[in-house]
Structure 1
Amino acid sequence: MARRETALQAAQGRLLDLIGSEFHPGDKLPNERELADLLEVSRATVREVLGQLAAEGVVRRTWGIGTFVHEPAGRVPVAIGDVTALRDRITASGHRPALRDATVSRVACPGDCADVLGLAPGAPCWRVDRLFAVDEVPAVFIRDHLPLRVADRDLDPSGLLSIDLDMFEFLAGATGMPVRRAEIEFAAVLADEELTARLEVPAGHPLVNGTQIGYGSGDVALFHGHLTVRTDILTLKISRVG
């Protein structure tokens, strides 16, 4: 294992030297076969090294197009002490937020979400998937579940397909009940197949997962979600007042 890690580190070092001397931000790198020849390693090693560099924000990989040199986004500090749009937190740190991908679908509510939202297990609910990027690097994948109706009002979360509408803003307008309080519980996780594809990190890459519940007045649960964060892009800050 130690010998393999040393070989990978050496290959990564040679590739970083090549990027620093021959390429500029935005340049497309040679394909895996050409890089394997240049570095005198296998294509499997090149693929693993590129995955590591993509996770660190050194390169950006686009399926079917190629691998490009990318300026590291740097870490964006995100405070988890107030109910504020993620978009605004990223912007306030001097970085560019983007909604890389977003979908809204009607699904059977998972058991853990149903308990929180006061629904029967398997009852229909909305699922909203959103992938946020920081300076074009995928940084946070969020999957939220919401009831179809709140306070006798039908919810239509299709507006969340735009970065211009945040979950908290949407709920305040759609229900007349702003999110008064959000609770979040963190756990360390390793990237599975879905997160590898979403966040462009290698399998087993360490990530932070947060389970978040947003409450309106009267402690009515308005949404239940999971957000998974690349901590090489975002740092999480928790403040306690009192």
Structure 2
Amino acid sequence: MARRETALQAAHGRLRELIGSEFRSGDKLPNERDLAERLEVSRATVREVLGQLAAEGVVTRTWGIGTFVHDGAERVPVSISDVTALRDRITASGHRPTLQDAAVSRATCPPDCAKVLGLAPEAPVWRVDRLFAVDGVPAAWIRDHLPLSFDGRDLDPSGLVSIDLDMFEFLASATGMPVCRAEIELAAVLADEESTARLGVALGHPLITATQIGYGSNGAALFHGHFTVRTDVLTLKLSRGGDPQPTR
């Protein structure tokens, strides 16, 4: 038993040394077989050591995706259960949100967006790209599309390049109709080249992407967006209460 514990301790130290010398925060580690060959131990030993390192916060493990070097940064919990600006959700968690990059331009409406907004395929729309950071660390990249006009009112989203104006606030002012409901569909993905460039993570880093549609009080869709989140910086919290009780 003592010999096995000594072997595990040796493998533990060697793997920590390997991670510290060859990998950076957010990097994906080789698979268990490759690590076992490099350390000259069994895959079972590697699996046990990785479990220890995960418990210590050195790595994060995602089933079906892989093992990644943890950056040690505190994750900021944000709720997606209500219609609230991301900026305000981050601030409510005691952290500082900033816009590291933002741009507003005219673009051709993507097919999925055109269907939601009730526009003709390839109709011109506004495209709003924003890169949110938490305490200076890139955390969420959001790309929204919205019509050039709504109910006879021309929309000018140029103010959204400032952290001081949020999409929900802009639409309430510009359309006279607040966003009262948002539908969000989540998916787990691995970082591609564009996500790597935007969020500063390694290729293959685990991310969460979402499609979000905001609706006005009349049921009309006001915007259609996609956002990509670094789960090593932000954690998304979805709360669900019980069924409302009847009232008299």
Alignment of 1:1-242 (within 5 A): 10-14=17-21, 46=22, 49-50=23-24, 52=26, 72-241=72-241, 242=243
CA distance in 1, matches of 2:109, 2:26: 35
Shift of 1:12: 2.7
Q: What amino acid maps onto 2:160 in structure 1?
A: L
In 2, Cα distance between equivalents of 1:7 and 1:105: 51
1:175–1:8 CA distance, 2 compared to 1 (3 A): farther
Distance in 2 (CA, whole Å) between partners of 1:8 and 1:152 is 63
Q: Secondary structure at the match of 2:143?
A: strand
Residues 70-110 of structure 1, C-alpha deviations (whole Å, 9 max, x = no match): x9541111111111111111111111110010000100100
Q: Say if 2:73 and 2:232, in contact at 8 Å, map to a contact too.
A: no
Unaligned runs of 5+ in 2: 1-12, 28-57, 59-70, 244-248
TM-align CA RMSD: 2.1
Name the CA shift for 1:193/1:51 in 2 (closer, same or farther; >3 Å).
farther
Q: Is the 8 A contact 1:113 1:145 kept in 2?
A: yes
> 1:26-45 deviations in whole A, cap 9, x for unaligned?
xxxxxxxxxxxxxxxxxxxx
Tell me which amino acid in the other structure corresponds to 1:92. A
| 8 Å CA contact retained: 2:160, 2:166 | yes
SS in 2 for 1:201: coil
| Contact persistence 2:185–2:211 (CA under 8 A) | yes
What is residue 61 of structure 1 aligned with on the other side? none
Residue 174 of structure 1 aligns to a residue in which SS? helix
Read off the aligned partner of 2:82 and give its amino acid letter.
D
CA distance in 2, matches of 1:218, 1:52: 44
SS in 1 for 2:84: coil
Larger radius of gyration: 2
Whichever residue aligns with residue 199 of structure 1, its letter is L
The gaps in structure 1 that reach 5 residues or longer are: 1-5, 15-45, 59-70
Q: Which residue of the partner structure matches residue 33 of structure 1?
A: none
Give me the whole-angstrom Cα distance separating, in 2, the residues matched to 1:117 and 1:7. Answer: 55
Deviation at 1:8, TM superposition (A): 8.0
CA-to-partner distance for each residue in 1:185-213, whole Å, 9 max, x for gaps? 00011111110010000011110001000
Q: Scaled by the length of structure 2, what TM-score is found?
A: 0.72
What secondary structure does 2:82 align onto? coil
Retained in 2: the 8 A contact 1:73–1:134? Answer: no
Deviation of 1:11 after TM superposition, in Å, equals 3.5
Q: Distance in 2 between matches of 1:7 and 1:199?
A: 30
Shift of 1:50: 3.0
Per-residue deviation, residues 170-227 of structure 1 (Å, max 9, x unmatched): 0000000100100000001111111001000001111000100000021100000001
Give the TM-score normalised by the residue count of structure 1: 0.74
Residue number in structure 2 paired with 1:29: none
How many residues are aligned here?
189
2:79–2:238 contact (8 Å) kept in structure 1:
yes
Change (3 A) 1:111 1:11: same
SS at match of 1:50: coil
* Identity score, percent: 72
After superposition, the Cα gap between the structure-2 partners of 1:13 and 1:110, relative to the gap in structure 1 and judged at 3 Å, is same
3-state SS in 1 of match to 2:26: helix
